[in-house]
Homo-oligomer: A and B are copies of this chain.
Amino acid sequence: MQQRSIASAAISVIHGAGLEGTRLRDVARAAHVTTGAVTHYFDGKEAVLEAALEEVVRRTLQRLGRGRHKPPKDVETFVAQACAHLPVDEASQMEWRVWLAFWGKAIADDRLRAIHRRYYEAFVEHVAHVLRALKPNTSSREALLTADAVIATLDGVGVRAILEPEHWPSKRQRQTATALLVPLLREFEGAKKV
């Protein structure tokens, strides 16, 4: 159970110092242990970072799971739910920053790429599932394509919001995401009521 708390500590260090600025000592200190404990539980720094990424994925997917019981019946609530995944508050901002920090590292690291792949797979599946609630008789292909589009929207807006937080308050994030998602989903629904 210590592993979890060390991984969480790593997340907050990465959040504050970036991946490159993350030293094992600081992770240990943030977890209220010493480097001895860290190396006791992990095979090395890489393993610690990997665990941190996995922890972020876990949290995000868990949050998705909680939303599974209220499938949206109309476009507006769908968009509102989708926007909740943007970096609009402290907690999600932290996860976004860490998630984004690993993108660059994942480019040259098969192991991390695999984690990303798994995450997106689950995310796509979730969005496609929710889309089917919006339009019951949808081809799998159409649902998946639209899910990709929804996720691209969130990633695109999220990245921008993380890189320019002072210019991207939650309102602007929602506005931009809405501008993309509403027309997309109207098209998806088929019925365009002005």
Contacts and interface: CB of A to CB of B under 8 A. Distances in A.
Interface of A: 16-21, 97, 100-109, 113, 116-117, 120, 145-146, 148-149, 151-157, 159-160, 162-164, 167, 172, 175-177, 179-180, 182-184, 186-187, 192
A169 to B, nearest CB: 13
B146 A179 contact: yes
Q: Is the interface of A mostly helix, strand, loop or mixed?
A: helix
B108 A21 contact: yes
Contacts of A151: 156, 160
A100 B163 CA distance: 11
A155 B164 contact: no
Given A100-B104, A108-B17, A145-B175, A152 B162 contact: no
22 contacts: A18-B105, A18-B107, A19-B20, A100-B104, A100-B107, A103-B163, A104-B105, A113-B163, A113-B164, A116-B164, A117-B163, A120-B163, A145-B179, A146-B179, A148-B160, A148-B172, A148-B179, A152-B157, A152-B180, A153-B153, A155-B155, A192-B192
Contacts of A175: 145
Contact of A154 (B117, B156, B164): B156
B19 A104 contact: yes
Nearest to A116: B163
